[in-house]
A and B are shown apart, each in its own frame.
Chain A
Protein backbone atom coordinates (compact mmCIF):
# COMPACT_ATOMS: atom_id res chain seq x y z
CA UNK A 1 0.00 0.00 0.00
CA UNK A 2 1.15 3.51 -0.78
CA UNK A 3 2.12 5.57 2.20
CA UNK A 4 -0.46 8.34 2.22
CA UNK A 5 -0.04 11.05 4.88
CA UNK A 6 -3.77 11.33 5.46
CA UNK A 7 -3.81 7.64 6.48
CA UNK A 8 -1.56 8.36 9.46
CA UNK A 9 -3.71 11.27 10.58
CA UNK A 10 -6.83 9.18 10.18
CA UNK A 11 -5.33 6.39 12.30
CA UNK A 12 -4.46 8.78 15.11
CA UNK A 13 -7.83 10.51 15.03
CA UNK A 14 -9.75 7.25 14.67
CA UNK A 15 -7.99 5.35 17.45
CA UNK A 16 -8.08 8.42 19.67
CA UNK A 17 -11.82 8.74 19.17
CA UNK A 18 -12.34 5.06 19.88
CA UNK A 19 -10.34 5.32 23.08
CA UNK A 20 -12.22 8.44 24.11
CA UNK A 21 -15.53 6.66 23.57
CA UNK A 22 -14.51 4.00 26.07
CA UNK A 23 -13.50 6.55 28.67
CA UNK A 24 -16.64 8.58 28.04
CA UNK A 25 -18.77 5.47 28.41
CA UNK A 26 -17.27 4.66 31.80
CA UNK A 27 -17.60 8.25 32.98
CA UNK A 28 -21.24 8.51 31.86
CA UNK A 29 -22.23 5.19 33.40
CA UNK A 30 -20.48 5.91 36.65
CA UNK A 31 -21.74 9.48 36.87
CA UNK A 32 -25.28 8.38 36.13
CA UNK A 33 -25.21 5.76 38.85
CA UNK A 34 -23.44 8.02 41.33
CA UNK A 35 -25.86 10.91 40.84
CA UNK A 36 -28.90 8.65 40.87
CA UNK A 37 -27.87 6.67 43.90
CA UNK A 38 -25.97 9.13 46.05
CA UNK A 39 -28.98 10.62 47.83
CA UNK A 40 -30.39 7.25 48.80
CA UNK A 41 -27.05 5.76 49.87
CA UNK A 42 -26.77 6.06 53.61
CA UNK A 43 -25.80 4.00 56.60
CA UNK A 44 -29.41 3.15 57.10
CA UNK A 45 -29.72 1.99 53.51
CA UNK A 46 -26.81 -0.40 54.03
CA UNK A 47 -27.99 -1.71 57.38
CA UNK A 48 -31.78 -1.99 57.09
CA UNK A 49 -34.09 -4.45 55.40
CA UNK A 50 -36.46 -3.43 52.59
CA UNK A 51 -39.80 -2.16 53.87
CA UNK A 52 -43.19 -1.17 52.49
CA UNK A 53 -43.24 -3.77 49.73
CA UNK A 54 -39.63 -2.97 48.82
CA UNK A 55 -40.33 0.67 48.02
CA UNK A 56 -38.42 1.88 51.04
CA UNK A 57 -35.80 0.73 53.54
CA UNK A 58 -32.40 -0.74 52.71
CA UNK A 59 -30.59 -3.64 51.14
CA UNK A 60 -28.96 -5.24 54.17
CA UNK A 61 -30.34 -8.76 53.51
CA UNK A 62 -29.14 -8.58 49.92
CA UNK A 63 -25.64 -7.58 51.03
CA UNK A 64 -25.59 -10.43 53.53
CA UNK A 65 -26.83 -12.87 50.89
CA UNK A 66 -24.23 -11.75 48.39
CA UNK A 67 -21.46 -12.12 50.97
CA UNK A 68 -22.60 -15.54 52.15
CA UNK A 69 -22.90 -16.78 48.61
CA UNK A 70 -19.48 -15.45 47.65
CA UNK A 71 -17.81 -16.91 50.73
CA UNK A 72 -19.37 -20.35 50.28
CA UNK A 73 -18.48 -20.23 46.61
CA UNK A 74 -14.84 -19.50 47.46
CA UNK A 75 -14.64 -22.18 50.12
CA UNK A 76 -15.66 -24.73 47.53
CA UNK A 77 -14.23 -23.29 44.33
CA UNK A 78 -10.80 -22.00 45.32
CA UNK A 79 -9.48 -25.27 46.80
CA UNK A 80 -10.75 -27.36 43.88
CA UNK A 81 -9.37 -24.85 41.40
CA UNK A 82 -6.05 -24.60 43.21
CA UNK A 83 -5.65 -28.37 43.39
CA UNK A 84 -6.44 -28.68 39.69
CA UNK A 85 -3.89 -25.96 38.96
CA UNK A 86 -1.29 -27.77 41.09
CA UNK A 87 -1.93 -30.93 39.14
CA UNK A 88 -1.66 -29.18 35.77
CA UNK A 89 1.41 -27.19 36.65
CA UNK A 90 3.38 -29.60 38.84
CA UNK A 91 2.34 -33.15 38.16
CA UNK A 92 0.93 -33.55 34.67
CA UNK A 93 3.32 -34.05 31.80
CA UNK A 94 2.79 -31.42 29.12
CA UNK A 95 1.84 -34.09 26.63
CA UNK A 96 -0.41 -36.12 28.88
CA UNK A 97 -3.78 -36.79 27.29
CA UNK A 98 -5.51 -36.39 30.63
CA UNK A 99 -3.99 -32.94 31.24
CA UNK A 100 -4.94 -31.84 27.73
CA UNK A 101 -8.43 -33.04 28.37
CA UNK A 102 -8.60 -31.01 31.60
CA UNK A 103 -7.38 -27.91 29.79
CA UNK A 104 -9.96 -28.43 27.09
CA UNK A 105 -12.65 -28.81 29.74
CA UNK A 106 -11.50 -25.67 31.56
CA UNK A 107 -11.55 -23.62 28.36
CA UNK A 108 -14.97 -24.93 27.46
CA UNK A 109 -16.27 -24.23 30.94
CA UNK A 110 -14.99 -20.65 30.66
CA UNK A 111 -17.03 -20.15 27.49
CA UNK A 112 -20.34 -21.50 28.76
CA UNK A 113 -22.94 -18.73 29.24
CA UNK A 114 -23.88 -18.02 32.84
CA UNK A 115 -27.53 -18.83 32.30
CA UNK A 116 -26.57 -22.36 31.23
CA UNK A 117 -24.80 -22.81 34.55
CA UNK A 118 -28.02 -21.72 36.21
CA UNK A 119 -29.99 -24.35 34.32
CA UNK A 120 -27.37 -26.94 35.10
CA UNK A 121 -27.59 -26.05 38.79
CA UNK A 122 -31.34 -26.41 38.66
CA UNK A 123 -31.22 -29.77 36.90
CA UNK A 124 -28.23 -31.29 38.63
CA UNK A 125 -28.00 -29.84 42.13
CA UNK A 126 -31.63 -29.14 42.91
CA UNK A 127 -33.49 -31.88 41.12
CA UNK A 128 -30.89 -34.64 41.01
CA UNK A 129 -28.73 -34.17 44.13
CA UNK A 130 -31.29 -32.34 46.25
CA UNK A 131 -34.08 -34.64 45.16
CA UNK A 132 -31.93 -37.62 46.01
CA UNK A 133 -31.13 -36.20 49.42
CA UNK A 134 -34.77 -35.59 50.17
CA UNK A 135 -35.69 -39.13 49.16
CA UNK A 136 -32.90 -40.51 51.30
CA UNK A 137 -33.26 -38.39 54.44
CA UNK A 138 -36.60 -36.58 54.19
CA UNK A 139 -40.04 -37.58 55.36
CA UNK A 140 -41.24 -37.86 51.78
CA UNK A 141 -43.60 -34.91 52.09
CA UNK A 142 -41.69 -31.76 52.75
CA UNK A 143 -39.08 -30.55 50.29
CA UNK A 144 -35.91 -29.50 52.06
CA UNK A 145 -33.02 -29.84 49.59
CA UNK A 146 -34.89 -30.21 46.32
CA UNK A 147 -35.49 -26.49 46.07
CA UNK A 148 -33.38 -23.41 45.43
CA UNK A 149 -31.14 -22.52 48.35
CA UNK A 150 -27.89 -20.93 49.42
CA UNK A 151 -25.88 -24.15 49.03
CA UNK A 152 -26.92 -24.94 45.46
CA UNK A 153 -26.51 -21.34 44.35
CA UNK A 154 -23.01 -21.22 45.83
CA UNK A 155 -22.01 -24.52 44.25
CA UNK A 156 -23.32 -23.38 40.88
CA UNK A 157 -21.29 -20.17 41.19
CA UNK A 158 -18.23 -22.18 42.25
CA UNK A 159 -18.48 -24.24 39.06
CA UNK A 160 -18.80 -21.13 36.97
CA UNK A 161 -15.79 -19.41 38.49
CA UNK A 162 -13.59 -22.52 38.50
CA UNK A 163 -11.84 -21.68 35.19
CA UNK A 164 -10.84 -18.24 36.50
CA UNK A 165 -9.25 -19.79 39.57
CA UNK A 166 -7.50 -22.57 37.66
CA UNK A 167 -6.02 -20.29 35.01
CA UNK A 168 -4.73 -17.62 37.39
CA UNK A 169 -3.32 -20.06 39.95
CA UNK A 170 -1.62 -22.13 37.28
CA UNK A 171 -0.08 -19.00 35.78
CA UNK A 172 1.23 -17.98 39.19
CA UNK A 173 2.75 -21.41 39.75
CA UNK A 174 4.44 -21.39 36.37
CA UNK A 175 6.05 -18.09 37.32
CA UNK A 176 7.97 -19.85 40.09
CA UNK A 177 11.44 -20.43 38.59
CA UNK A 178 12.30 -24.00 37.64
CA UNK A 179 15.63 -23.59 39.46
CA UNK A 180 13.84 -23.43 42.81
CA UNK A 181 11.99 -26.67 42.13
CA UNK A 182 15.22 -28.34 41.08
CA UNK A 183 16.99 -27.07 44.20
CA UNK A 184 14.30 -28.57 46.38
CA UNK A 185 14.14 -31.90 44.54
CA UNK A 186 17.94 -32.20 44.50
CA UNK A 187 17.87 -31.92 48.30
CA UNK A 188 15.74 -35.02 48.47
CA UNK A 189 12.38 -33.33 48.81
CA UNK A 190 9.44 -35.21 47.36
CA UNK A 191 7.29 -33.59 44.72
CA UNK A 192 4.61 -32.77 47.24
CA UNK A 193 7.14 -31.27 49.68
CA UNK A 194 8.44 -29.15 46.82
CA UNK A 195 4.95 -27.96 45.96
CA UNK A 196 4.05 -27.32 49.56
CA UNK A 197 7.26 -25.67 50.75
CA UNK A 198 8.55 -23.93 47.61
CA UNK A 199 5.96 -23.56 44.86
CA UNK A 200 2.92 -22.62 46.93
CA UNK A 201 4.64 -20.05 49.18
CA UNK A 202 6.10 -18.41 46.08
CA UNK A 203 2.80 -18.27 44.27
CA UNK A 204 0.57 -17.36 47.17
CA UNK A 205 -0.25 -13.95 45.74
CA UNK A 206 -1.33 -15.64 42.53
CA UNK A 207 -3.55 -17.94 44.51
CA UNK A 208 -5.11 -14.97 46.25
CA UNK A 209 -5.51 -13.15 42.94
CA UNK A 210 -7.31 -16.16 41.54
CA UNK A 211 -9.60 -16.22 44.52
CA UNK A 212 -10.38 -12.53 44.36
CA UNK A 213 -10.96 -12.58 40.60
CA UNK A 214 -13.35 -15.47 41.01
CA UNK A 215 -15.15 -13.64 43.79
CA UNK A 216 -15.47 -10.45 41.80
CA UNK A 217 -16.70 -12.36 38.75
CA UNK A 218 -19.10 -14.29 40.95
CA UNK A 219 -20.37 -11.34 42.94
CA UNK A 220 -21.72 -9.60 39.86
CA UNK A 221 -23.42 -12.56 38.22
CA UNK A 222 -27.14 -13.07 38.57
CA UNK A 223 -28.03 -15.60 35.89
CA UNK A 224 -26.66 -18.71 37.66
CA UNK A 225 -28.59 -18.01 40.85
CA UNK A 226 -31.91 -17.09 39.24
CA UNK A 227 -33.14 -20.67 39.53
CA UNK A 228 -30.80 -21.95 42.17
CA UNK A 229 -31.29 -19.84 45.27
CA UNK A 230 -32.05 -16.13 44.97
CA UNK A 231 -35.30 -14.98 46.54
CA UNK A 232 -37.56 -12.10 45.59
CA UNK A 233 -38.07 -11.01 49.14
CA UNK A 234 -37.43 -12.66 52.46
CA UNK A 235 -38.52 -11.36 55.84
CA UNK A 236 -35.52 -12.94 57.57
CA UNK A 237 -31.84 -13.55 56.89
CA UNK A 238 -30.84 -17.06 55.78
CA UNK A 239 -29.75 -19.18 58.73
CA UNK A 240 -29.11 -22.50 57.05
CA UNK A 241 -27.63 -23.80 53.83
CA UNK A 242 -31.08 -24.88 52.75
CA UNK A 243 -32.50 -21.36 53.01
CA UNK A 244 -33.02 -19.06 50.09
CA UNK A 245 -31.39 -15.66 50.20
CA UNK A 246 -31.67 -12.16 48.81
CA UNK A 247 -28.89 -10.93 46.58
CA UNK A 248 -27.79 -7.53 45.28
CA UNK A 249 -27.81 -8.26 41.56
CA UNK A 250 -31.08 -10.11 41.73
CA UNK A 251 -32.54 -7.36 43.88
CA UNK A 252 -31.79 -4.81 41.16
CA UNK A 253 -33.40 -7.05 38.56
CA UNK A 254 -36.46 -7.59 40.72
CA UNK A 255 -36.97 -3.95 41.54
CA UNK A 256 -36.53 -2.73 38.00
CA UNK A 257 -38.83 -5.31 36.40
CA UNK A 258 -41.06 -6.94 38.98
CA UNK A 259 -41.85 -4.16 41.39
CA UNK A 260 -45.42 -2.83 41.56
CA UNK A 261 -44.10 0.71 41.32
CA UNK A 262 -40.84 0.91 39.43
CA UNK A 263 -40.75 4.70 39.40
CA UNK A 264 -40.95 4.94 43.19
CA UNK A 265 -37.95 2.70 43.70
CA UNK A 266 -35.68 4.52 41.27
CA UNK A 267 -33.44 5.84 44.05
CA UNK A 268 -33.16 2.44 45.65
CA UNK A 269 -32.30 0.82 42.34
CA UNK A 270 -29.53 3.32 41.71
CA UNK A 271 -28.15 2.99 45.21
CA UNK A 272 -28.22 -0.83 45.06
CA UNK A 273 -26.38 -0.73 41.75
CA UNK A 274 -23.84 1.60 43.31
CA UNK A 275 -23.29 -0.79 46.22
CA UNK A 276 -22.84 -3.73 43.85
CA UNK A 277 -20.42 -1.80 41.67
CA UNK A 278 -18.39 -0.61 44.64
CA UNK A 279 -18.20 -4.20 45.85
CA UNK A 280 -16.98 -5.65 42.54
CA UNK A 281 -14.67 -2.69 41.86
CA UNK A 282 -12.96 -2.97 45.19
CA UNK A 283 -12.52 -6.71 44.64
CA UNK A 284 -11.10 -6.12 41.17
CA UNK A 285 -8.82 -3.47 42.54
CA UNK A 286 -7.58 -5.90 45.18
CA UNK A 287 -6.86 -8.47 42.47
CA UNK A 288 -4.98 -5.95 40.34
CA UNK A 289 -2.95 -4.84 43.34
CA UNK A 290 -2.05 -8.41 44.31
CA UNK A 291 -1.04 -9.16 40.75
CA UNK A 292 1.11 -6.05 40.65
CA UNK A 293 2.83 -7.12 43.86
CA UNK A 294 3.36 -10.59 42.41
CA UNK A 295 4.89 -9.31 39.16
CA UNK A 296 7.16 -6.96 41.05
CA UNK A 297 8.39 -9.79 43.21
CA UNK A 298 8.86 -12.09 40.25
CA UNK A 299 11.16 -9.52 38.62
CA UNK A 300 13.12 -8.74 41.76
Chain B
Protein backbone atom coordinates (compact mmCIF):
# COMPACT_ATOMS: atom_id res chain seq x y z
CA UNK B 1 0.00 0.00 0.00
CA UNK B 2 1.68 3.11 -1.23
CA UNK B 3 -1.24 5.43 -0.83
CA UNK B 4 -1.51 8.39 1.46
CA UNK B 5 -3.36 8.20 4.74
CA UNK B 6 -6.25 10.19 3.41
CA UNK B 7 -7.11 8.25 0.32
CA UNK B 8 -10.71 7.14 0.03
CA UNK B 9 -11.37 3.43 -0.04
CA UNK B 10 -15.14 3.33 0.22
CA UNK B 11 -17.39 6.08 -1.05
CA UNK B 12 -21.16 6.09 -1.08
CA UNK B 13 -23.10 8.53 -3.21
CA UNK B 14 -26.76 9.17 -2.45
CA UNK B 15 -27.29 5.70 -1.06
CA UNK B 16 -30.96 4.90 -0.52
CA UNK B 17 -32.02 1.52 0.76
CA UNK B 18 -35.56 0.24 1.09
CA UNK B 19 -36.97 -2.81 2.85
CA UNK B 20 -40.12 -3.15 0.80
CA UNK B 21 -41.84 0.22 1.11
CA UNK B 22 -39.85 1.23 4.21
CA UNK B 23 -36.82 3.42 3.61
CA UNK B 24 -33.94 2.43 5.89
CA UNK B 25 -31.20 4.63 4.45
CA UNK B 26 -31.79 8.12 3.13
CA UNK B 27 -29.32 9.51 0.64
CA UNK B 28 -26.17 8.61 2.54
CA UNK B 29 -23.02 10.07 1.02
CA UNK B 30 -19.80 9.38 2.81
CA UNK B 31 -16.08 8.80 2.28
CA UNK B 32 -14.31 6.11 4.30
CA UNK B 33 -10.52 6.29 4.34
CA UNK B 34 -7.83 3.69 4.05
CA UNK B 35 -5.92 2.56 7.14
CA UNK B 36 -8.44 4.11 9.44
CA UNK B 37 -11.12 2.84 11.73
CA UNK B 38 -14.53 4.36 11.17
CA UNK B 39 -17.15 3.95 13.86
CA UNK B 40 -20.84 4.06 12.98
CA UNK B 41 -22.95 5.22 15.90
CA UNK B 42 -26.60 6.07 16.44
CA UNK B 43 -29.67 4.82 18.26
CA UNK B 44 -31.20 1.40 17.47
CA UNK B 45 -32.90 1.28 14.12
CA UNK B 46 -31.04 4.30 12.77
CA UNK B 47 -29.69 2.36 9.81
CA UNK B 48 -26.05 1.95 10.85
CA UNK B 49 -26.10 -1.86 10.61
CA UNK B 50 -28.04 -1.66 7.36
CA UNK B 51 -25.41 0.71 6.02
CA UNK B 52 -22.64 -1.65 7.09
CA UNK B 53 -24.33 -4.60 5.40
CA UNK B 54 -24.78 -2.55 2.25
CA UNK B 55 -20.99 -2.38 1.93
CA UNK B 56 -20.62 -6.12 1.22
CA UNK B 57 -24.13 -6.63 -0.14
CA UNK B 58 -25.23 -8.85 2.73
CA UNK B 59 -28.61 -7.16 2.42
CA UNK B 60 -29.03 -9.03 -0.85
CA UNK B 61 -29.95 -12.06 1.22
CA UNK B 62 -33.13 -10.41 2.44
CA UNK B 63 -36.17 -10.52 0.18
CA UNK B 64 -37.48 -7.26 -1.14
CA UNK B 65 -34.43 -5.08 -0.56
CA UNK B 66 -34.04 -2.29 -3.05
CA UNK B 67 -30.94 -0.12 -3.36
CA UNK B 68 -30.47 3.21 -5.12
CA UNK B 69 -27.35 5.31 -5.45
CA UNK B 70 -23.76 4.15 -5.53
CA UNK B 71 -21.33 2.32 -3.28
CA UNK B 72 -17.85 2.68 -4.73
CA UNK B 73 -15.05 0.52 -3.43
CA UNK B 74 -11.74 1.52 -4.98
CA UNK B 75 -13.80 3.45 -7.48
CA UNK B 76 -15.92 0.49 -8.62
CA UNK B 77 -19.66 0.54 -7.99
CA UNK B 78 -20.37 -2.72 -6.17
CA UNK B 79 -24.05 -2.60 -7.14
CA UNK B 80 -23.16 -2.66 -10.82
CA UNK B 81 -24.73 -5.80 -12.35
CA UNK B 82 -21.33 -6.84 -13.67
CA UNK B 83 -19.86 -7.09 -10.17
CA UNK B 84 -19.39 -10.60 -8.81
CA UNK B 85 -20.84 -10.58 -5.28
CA UNK B 86 -18.77 -13.58 -4.27
CA UNK B 87 -15.54 -11.81 -5.25
CA UNK B 88 -16.72 -8.66 -3.51
CA UNK B 89 -17.27 -10.50 -0.23
CA UNK B 90 -13.78 -11.95 -0.40
CA UNK B 91 -12.44 -8.41 -0.44
CA UNK B 92 -14.83 -7.10 2.18
CA UNK B 93 -14.84 -9.34 5.24
CA UNK B 94 -17.46 -9.21 7.94
CA UNK B 95 -17.58 -9.88 11.68
CA UNK B 96 -21.02 -10.34 13.16
CA UNK B 97 -22.55 -9.26 16.43
CA UNK B 98 -23.06 -12.81 17.55
CA UNK B 99 -19.93 -14.87 17.08
CA UNK B 100 -20.75 -17.57 14.58
CA UNK B 101 -17.97 -20.16 14.28
CA UNK B 102 -18.87 -23.21 12.20
CA UNK B 103 -19.42 -26.40 14.19
CA UNK B 104 -16.02 -27.56 13.01
CA UNK B 105 -12.53 -27.60 14.48
CA UNK B 106 -10.65 -24.36 15.09
CA UNK B 107 -8.34 -25.25 12.22
CA UNK B 108 -11.19 -25.96 9.80
CA UNK B 109 -12.94 -22.75 10.76
CA UNK B 110 -9.96 -20.67 9.70
CA UNK B 111 -9.19 -22.87 6.70
CA UNK B 112 -12.76 -22.54 5.41
CA UNK B 113 -12.11 -19.40 3.36
CA UNK B 114 -8.84 -20.58 1.78
CA UNK B 115 -10.43 -23.95 1.02
CA UNK B 116 -13.37 -22.46 -0.88
CA UNK B 117 -10.78 -20.50 -2.84
CA UNK B 118 -9.24 -23.77 -3.89
CA UNK B 119 -6.27 -23.94 -1.51
CA UNK B 120 -5.86 -27.59 -0.56
CA UNK B 121 -2.15 -27.87 0.01
CA UNK B 122 -1.74 -28.84 3.65
CA UNK B 123 1.44 -26.89 4.38
CA UNK B 124 0.04 -23.78 2.75
CA UNK B 125 -3.17 -24.12 4.75
CA UNK B 126 -1.17 -24.66 7.95
CA UNK B 127 0.70 -21.49 7.28
CA UNK B 128 -2.45 -19.46 6.53
CA UNK B 129 -4.21 -20.77 9.62
CA UNK B 130 -1.27 -19.89 11.85
CA UNK B 131 -0.82 -16.44 10.35
CA UNK B 132 -4.53 -15.60 10.68
CA UNK B 133 -4.75 -16.90 14.24
CA UNK B 134 -1.65 -14.89 15.16
CA UNK B 135 -3.15 -11.77 13.58
CA UNK B 136 -6.29 -12.32 15.60
CA UNK B 137 -4.18 -12.72 18.78
CA UNK B 138 -5.57 -16.18 19.35
CA UNK B 139 -2.68 -18.39 18.29
CA UNK B 140 -1.00 -18.71 21.68
CA UNK B 141 -4.26 -19.75 23.33
CA UNK B 142 -5.24 -22.43 20.83
CA UNK B 143 -2.08 -23.62 19.09
CA UNK B 144 -2.06 -26.89 21.03
CA UNK B 145 -5.62 -27.87 20.28
CA UNK B 146 -6.42 -26.78 16.77
CA UNK B 147 -8.56 -29.87 16.33
CA UNK B 148 -10.87 -28.82 19.15
CA UNK B 149 -14.33 -27.59 18.11
CA UNK B 150 -14.59 -23.85 17.58
CA UNK B 151 -17.74 -23.95 19.69
CA UNK B 152 -15.76 -25.13 22.71
CA UNK B 153 -14.00 -21.76 22.98
CA UNK B 154 -15.13 -18.91 25.24
CA UNK B 155 -17.25 -16.12 23.76
CA UNK B 156 -14.31 -13.75 23.33
CA UNK B 157 -12.15 -16.46 21.81
CA UNK B 158 -14.97 -17.40 19.44
CA UNK B 159 -15.19 -13.83 18.24
CA UNK B 160 -11.43 -13.68 17.67
CA UNK B 161 -11.70 -17.00 15.84
CA UNK B 162 -14.28 -15.37 13.56
CA UNK B 163 -11.89 -12.47 13.01
CA UNK B 164 -9.10 -14.91 12.15
CA UNK B 165 -11.45 -16.73 9.81
CA UNK B 166 -12.33 -13.48 8.05
CA UNK B 167 -8.67 -12.50 7.72
CA UNK B 168 -7.68 -15.83 6.20
CA UNK B 169 -9.19 -14.74 2.87
CA UNK B 170 -7.02 -11.59 2.83
CA UNK B 171 -9.74 -8.96 2.67
CA UNK B 172 -8.90 -5.29 2.28
CA UNK B 173 -11.82 -4.13 4.36
CA UNK B 174 -13.24 -5.52 7.60
CA UNK B 175 -16.82 -4.72 8.54
CA UNK B 176 -17.65 -5.28 12.19
CA UNK B 177 -21.24 -5.29 13.41
CA UNK B 178 -21.06 -4.66 17.16
CA UNK B 179 -18.33 -7.27 17.50
CA UNK B 180 -17.97 -6.92 21.27
CA UNK B 181 -21.55 -6.31 22.38
CA UNK B 182 -21.97 -9.83 23.75
CA UNK B 183 -18.57 -9.98 25.47
CA UNK B 184 -17.32 -9.26 28.96
CA UNK B 185 -15.03 -6.24 29.54
CA UNK B 186 -11.79 -8.23 29.37
CA UNK B 187 -12.70 -9.92 26.11
CA UNK B 188 -13.92 -6.57 24.81
CA UNK B 189 -10.59 -4.97 25.63
CA UNK B 190 -8.81 -7.70 23.69
CA UNK B 191 -10.99 -7.14 20.65
CA UNK B 192 -10.45 -3.40 20.83
CA UNK B 193 -6.71 -3.84 21.06
CA UNK B 194 -6.89 -6.14 18.09
CA UNK B 195 -8.79 -3.56 16.06
CA UNK B 196 -6.10 -1.04 16.91
CA UNK B 197 -3.40 -3.39 15.63
CA UNK B 198 -5.29 -4.33 12.50
CA UNK B 199 -5.98 -0.86 11.22
CA UNK B 200 -2.58 -0.47 9.61
CA UNK B 201 -3.42 -3.35 7.29
CA UNK B 202 -7.18 -3.09 6.89
CA UNK B 203 -9.81 -0.47 6.43
CA UNK B 204 -12.14 -1.13 9.34
CA UNK B 205 -15.74 -0.04 9.70
CA UNK B 206 -17.31 -0.84 13.05
CA UNK B 207 -20.86 -0.44 14.26
CA UNK B 208 -21.08 0.12 17.98
CA UNK B 209 -23.61 1.05 20.59
CA UNK B 210 -20.91 1.88 23.04
CA UNK B 211 -19.80 5.52 22.94
CA UNK B 212 -16.62 4.86 24.92
CA UNK B 213 -15.74 2.10 22.50
CA UNK B 214 -16.23 4.38 19.51
CA UNK B 215 -14.06 6.99 21.19
CA UNK B 216 -11.35 4.43 22.03
CA UNK B 217 -11.00 2.52 18.79
CA UNK B 218 -11.99 4.79 15.94
CA UNK B 219 -10.28 7.55 13.99
CA UNK B 220 -13.48 8.78 12.37
CA UNK B 221 -17.05 8.58 13.56
CA UNK B 222 -20.28 8.75 11.59
CA UNK B 223 -23.53 9.47 13.37
CA UNK B 224 -26.72 8.06 11.89
CA UNK B 225 -30.22 9.02 12.87
CA UNK B 226 -33.47 7.78 11.29
CA UNK B 227 -31.67 6.48 8.22
CA UNK B 228 -29.75 9.67 7.60
CA UNK B 229 -26.09 10.41 8.04
CA UNK B 230 -26.24 13.41 10.35
CA UNK B 231 -22.54 14.08 10.68
CA UNK B 232 -19.20 12.50 10.08
CA UNK B 233 -15.85 13.79 11.24
CA UNK B 234 -12.74 12.83 13.14
CA UNK B 235 -13.70 11.02 16.29
CA UNK B 236 -11.94 13.55 18.52
CA UNK B 237 -13.96 16.35 17.06
CA UNK B 238 -17.24 14.39 17.05
CA UNK B 239 -16.96 13.74 20.76
CA UNK B 240 -15.74 17.17 21.82
CA UNK B 241 -17.05 19.72 19.38
CA UNK B 242 -19.63 18.25 16.97
CA UNK B 243 -21.11 20.74 14.57
CA UNK B 244 -24.66 19.39 14.78
CA UNK B 245 -26.91 19.70 17.79
CA UNK B 246 -28.30 16.15 17.34
CA UNK B 247 -24.81 14.68 17.42
CA UNK B 248 -23.98 16.50 20.58
CA UNK B 249 -27.20 15.36 22.23
CA UNK B 250 -26.48 11.76 21.29
CA UNK B 251 -22.80 11.55 22.27
CA UNK B 252 -23.46 13.25 25.56
CA UNK B 253 -26.22 10.75 26.27
CA UNK B 254 -29.18 13.09 26.17
CA UNK B 255 -31.10 10.66 23.94
CA UNK B 256 -30.69 7.34 22.23
A and B: real partners? yes
Residue numbers of A with Cβ under 8 A of B are 93-95, 177, 179-190, 193, 197-198, 202
CB contact list, B105-133 vs A, under 8 A = 112-113, 116-117
Q: Which of B30-38, B55-63, B69-77, B201-209 forms part of the interface with chain A? A: B55-63
Q: Which of B89, B102, B165 contacts A185 (CB 8 A)?
A: B89
**A186-B56 contact given A95-B63, A179-B96, A180-B100, CB 8 Å threshold:** yes
**B87 and A184 contacting across the interface, CB-CB below 8 Å:** no
**B100 and A188 contacting across the interface, CB-CB below 8 Å:** no
Which residues of chain A come closer than 8 Å to B61, judged between CB atoms?
181-182, 185
**B112 and A197 contacting across the interface, CB-CB below 8 Å:** yes
CA distance A198 to B112 in the complex (A): 10
CA distance A129 to B234 in the complex (A): 74
**A188-B89 contact given A93-B63, A183-B162, A193-B116, CB 8 Å threshold:** yes
CA distance A294 to B128 in the complex (A): 33
**A182 and B116 contacting across the interface, CB-CB below 8 Å:** no
Question: What are 17 of the A-B contact pairs (CB < 8 Å)?
Answer: A93-B63, A94-B63, A177-B100, A180-B102, A180-B103, A182-B100, A183-B101, A183-B162, A186-B89, A186-B166, A187-B90, A187-B112, A187-B166, A188-B86, A189-B113, A197-B116, A198-B102
Name 11 extra pairs, CB < 8 A, besides A94-B63, A179-B98, A187-B112.
A95-B64, A182-B96, A186-B56, A187-B89, A187-B113, A188-B87, A188-B88, A188-B90, A189-B113, A197-B116, A202-B103
Closest-CB distance, B84 to chain A (whole angstroms) = 10
- The DSSP consensus for interface residues of chain A is helix
CA distance A206 to B61 in the complex (A): 24
Residue numbers of B with Cβ under 8 A of A are 56, 58, 61, 63-64, 86-90, 93-94, 96, 98, 100-103, 112-113, 116-117, 162, 165-166, 169
**B93 and A185 contacting across the interface, CB-CB below 8 Å:** no
Q: Which of A182, A190, A198, A202 contacts B86 (CB 8 A)?
A: A190
CA distance A207 to B79 in the complex (A): 36
**A187-B165 contact given A95-B63, A182-B61, CB 8 Å threshold:** yes
Q: Considering the complex of A and B, which 3 residue pairs feature the smallest CB-CB distances, nearest first?
A: A188-B90, A179-B100, A186-B94
Closest-CB distance, A243 to chain B (whole angstroms) = 45
Closest-CB distance, B205 to chain A (whole angstroms) = 14
**A187 and B100 contacting across the interface, CB-CB below 8 Å:** no
Closest-CB distance, A205 to chain B (whole angstroms) = 13
**B63 and A187 contacting across the interface, CB-CB below 8 Å:** no
CA distance A202 to B86 in the complex (A): 22
CA distance A186 to B91 in the complex (A): 10
CA distance A186 to B88 in the complex (A): 9
Nearest neighbor of A95 in chain B, beta-carbon distance:
B63
Which residues of chain A come closer than 8 Å to B58, judged between CB atoms?
182, 185-186
Nearest neighbor of B175 in chain A, beta-carbon distance:
A186
Closest-CB distance, B223 to chain A (whole angstroms) = 25
Which residues of chain A come closer than 8 Å to B86, judged between CB atoms?
188-190
Nearest neighbor of B171 in chain A, beta-carbon distance:
A188
Q: Which of A95, A181, A189 contacts B116 (CB 8 A)?
A: A189
Which of B88, B94, B100, B166 has most chain A Cβ within 10 Å? B100
Which residues of chain A come closer than 8 Å to B96, judged between CB atoms?
179, 182-183, 186
Closest-CB distance, B163 to chain A (whole angstroms) = 12
Nearest neighbor of B117 in chain A, beta-carbon distance:
A188
Closest-CB distance, B120 to chain A (whole angstroms) = 13
Which residues of chain A come closer than 8 Å to B93, judged between CB atoms?
186-187
Closest-CB distance, A85 to chain B (whole angstroms) = 19
CA distance A190 to B116 in the complex (A): 9
